[in-house]
Amino acid sequence: MELSNIEKLLEKYFEGETTISEEKELKVYFTRETVPSHLERYRDLFQYFSEESTITATRDLKLKTRNRPKFAWVGMAASIALITGLFLTRTNPPPEKVDTFEDPEIALQETKKILSMVSQYMNEGKQGLVYLKEFENTKSKFIK
Amino acid sequence: MKERVFITLTNGFKDKLFRLAKRLLVSNEEAEDATQEVLLKLWKNKKKIEEYKNVEAFAMTMTKNYCYDKLKAKETGNLKIVHSNYKDERPSLQRQVEAKDSLDWVGKIMNDLPEQQRMIIQLRDIEQYDNAEIADMLGLNETAVRVALSRGRKKIREELLKKHNYGVV
């Protein structure tokens, strides 16, 4: 390309009025071997631009995708089932008590009878425990 | 959307995301983190991807926002040493050593530009998006993009000229 044309383009370039394709022409022109000495200083600029457009990241960029194990949901479902199961069985209401006597007076007497029977057996059983005292006696014989 | 589809979709522009992030954050590692983060966010919202009319532009905007957040966090986290009372007009010795390579020098000049100009030059001169796309990505109007582009380019030219004449004039 003619020199005057390049100079005109450069002027436009610094005014920010060149088009992308004109800028490409400039780049091509200035990456050539020989450039007139008064334009020499622009060579670095355009060479820098074309060089900079080739740098890339050295590190490989990875996407960290957190892959859940495929059957994780089975475990989750099982634990939920277990917990709800526990709660459901716990909260089952106890069977309701049914009255067995019509008259509360008789009911009271029957209860008393049963309780006294229980205490009677208790007392009978306790009599066997009297022997335990022997332990205490023999122990106090040795340890004073 | 399957992972493979997503990867082929993002492969088209993930380097562009990286380069934009690198332009803003400068550090390679931070730019990689940013790209990763943006892609992950996209992946998490993969159900919505079909709704976006331009995934690439959307991802670019996400990257820009992410980097801005990072830069802001850095600014508040670090104690800045400001020495505004004097300024060495010549490039510092360290910079001269660092920027021995003249292409590096352009990069240095570019990274000294304000963030917006830096981004616009990155998107326009390096990634070759047109102004309408850039306006869309950055949430600006096209005129603002063109003005910032021109300012940035002129600033680079000025700095290059200084460097070129350094020691001569």
pLDDT along chain B (169 residues), means of 10: 80 88 88 90 83 86 91 72 56 56 81 90 90 90 91 90 70
- Between B102 and A83, residue with greater pLDDT: A83
Count of domains for chain A:
2
Q: Which of residues 112-131 of A touch B (CB under 8 A)?
A: none
Count of domains for chain B:
2
Domain assignment of residue B84, yes or no: no
Domain extent, residue A11, equals 3-52
3-state SS record for B110-144:
HHCCCHHHHHHHHHHHHCCCCHHHHHHHHCCCHHH
Residue B148 pLDDT: 92
SS3 A85: helix
Mark which of B78, B104, B135 sits at the end of a domain: B78
Considering the domain architecture, whether residues B33 and B99 belong to the same structural domain is answered as: no
Distances (CA, A) of B165 to A13, A38, B5, B105: 22, 12, 52, 14
Considering the domain architecture, whether residues B55 and B29 belong to the same structural domain is answered as: yes
Per the CB < 8 Å rule, is A41 touching B161? yes
Residue A117 pLDDT: 95
Residue B53 pLDDT: 78
- Mean pLDDT over A79-91 rounds to 84
Q: Interface of chain B against chain A, CB under 8 Å?
A: 3, 6-7, 14-15, 18-19, 22, 28, 31-32, 35-36, 39-40, 43, 102-103, 105-107, 110, 122, 124-128, 130, 146-147, 149-150, 153-154, 156-157, 160-161, 163-164
Considering the domain architecture, whether residues B57 and B99 belong to the same structural domain is answered as: no
The distance from CA B9 to its chain's CA centroid, rounded to whole angstroms, is: 22
Chain A closest-CA separation from residue B85 CA (Å): 32
- Mean pLDDT over A41-53 rounds to 84
* Band of pLDDT at residue A67, cut at 50, 70 and 90: low
Residue B80 pLDDT: 55
Domain extent, residue B5, equals 1-78
Q: What percent of chain A lies above the pLDDT cut of 70?
A: 87
Residue B82 pLDDT: 55
Q: What is the overall mean pLDDT for chain A?
A: 83
Among A24-28, A69-73, B21-25, B39-43, the minimum mean pLDDT is found in A69-73
Domain assignment of residue A74, yes or no: no
- Between A61 and B161, residue with greater pLDDT: B161
Considering the domain architecture, whether residues B72 and B106 belong to the same structural domain is answered as: no
pTM over the 0.90 mark? no
Residue A80 pLDDT: 93
Residue B77 pLDDT: 64
Q: Which of residues 46-75 of A touch B (CB under 8 A)?
A: 47-49, 51-53, 55-59, 61-65
Per the CB < 8 Å rule, is B127 touching A65? no
Distances (CA, A) of A49 to A52, B3, B127: 5, 33, 9
Each residue's pLDDT tens digit, A89-124: 766 666 677 777 788 888 899 999 999 999 999 998
User: What CATH number corresponds to the domain at position B142?
Assistant: 1.10.10.10
